[in-house]
A = this chain, B = another copy of it.
Amino acid sequence: MNLSVQIGKLTLQNPVMVASGTFGYGVEYAQLLDLNQLGAVVVKGIRLHPVRGNPTPRTVEVASGLINAIGLQGPGVDGFIKKYWPFLKKLKVPTIINIWGTTVDEYAEVARRFDTLGGVGALELNVSCPNIKEGGAQFGTDVKLLSRVVAACRKVTELPLITKMSPNVVSIAPYAKAAEDAGSDALAVTNSYPAMAIDIETRKPKLANVTGGLTGPCLKPIAIKLVWEAAKVVKIPIIGMGGIQNAADAIEFMMAGATAVAVGTANFYEPQTPLQVIAAIREFMQQRDIQDVSEITGSVQTTK
């Protein structure tokens, strides 16, 4: 039985990774689970310089979901390399680094830095964070800017590039195509959806940043549709995410067209989720005599 999947030139031992921003820099969860059993570790978004992030409150729980406006707090490239890379580079599974910038040049510069670092599994271009004024979603909702960001990173690195798509578009197809055409090796679908909650007692937004990004089970039906639509127009693999809580959810994403999946918000509730998902995908395959996990990908039967 084969669970391994291919993301560009990167081979993952199984299709289950964790979602950027929900797994810190890996080290924090190392006491609770064996990271070496994951498909890959994906770290929190990093730009060139350290970032303080937004004031608090930064998250709020809603019906079957979470809204966050962390604001991409992070140590910057140097801080990350100093503080977290010594731990991560020793892992047996690949580390995927989620990167961002406020200009096309910054994206490229961060990509270049990680290219030269050596040992990085892949780069995930976050062009879809709804929680920062500059950078983030502005790149993911403008087809031309998106192409430029991907192309600029493509120029400076041979590392597999994963473009993390914004769900906040009329149709994902042109964006997916643009990322593929500009040289992306895979798509991550999807980032969080712009959302807001108000405390009716204080009449204040529940997040200091006023708005944030919605994630968790409530987002799954939207994300499934986006994966299905993106899979119809691109040949590169898709990493599906948005509300995965168990293997059934993960398999649903794969049937819609995802080659791999990532567990995000569910980690907060149950850090064992990614490992439980891996075990249960294996069981699903055994029960149905599925030899290769790739048989699941895109297997939904639709007439459309």
Contact = CB atoms under 8 A, between A and B. Distances in A.
Interface of A: 62-65, 67, 141, 168-170, 193-198, 200, 202-205, 210-211, 214, 217-222, 224-225, 228, 243, 248, 251-252, 255-256, 284, 299-304
Contact of A195 (B195, B197, B225, B299): B225
Nearest to A284: B200
A235 B168 CA distance: 25
27 contacts: A62-B220, A62-B221, A63-B217, A63-B218, A63-B220, A63-B243, A64-B218, A65-B221, A67-B221, A169-B170, A170-B170, A194-B225, A195-B225, A196-B224, A196-B228, A198-B224, A198-B252, A198-B300, A200-B248, A200-B255, A203-B255, A203-B300, A210-B303, A211-B228, A214-B221, A217-B218, A218-B221
A302 B195 CA distance: 15
Contact of A64 (B193, B210, B217): B217
Contacts of A205: 300, 302
Contacts of A203: 255, 299-301
Main secondary structure of the interface of A (DSSP, over half): mixed
Contacts of A62: 220-221
Given A64-B64, A210-B302, A221 B200 contact: no
A240 to B, nearest CB: 11
A299 B228 CA distance: 40
Given A197-B221, A218-B219, 6 more contacts: A64-B64, A67-B221, A198-B252, A202-B301, A204-B301, A210-B302
Contacts of A141: 170
A102 to B, nearest CB: 19
A134 to B, nearest CB: 15
A65 B62 CA distance: 13
Nearest to A252: B198
A266 to B, nearest CB: 12
A222 B211 CA distance: 10
Nearest to A211: B225
A137 to B, nearest CB: 9
Q: Which 5 A-B pairs have the closest CB atoms?
A: A218-B218, A195-B221, A196-B225, A63-B217, A64-B64
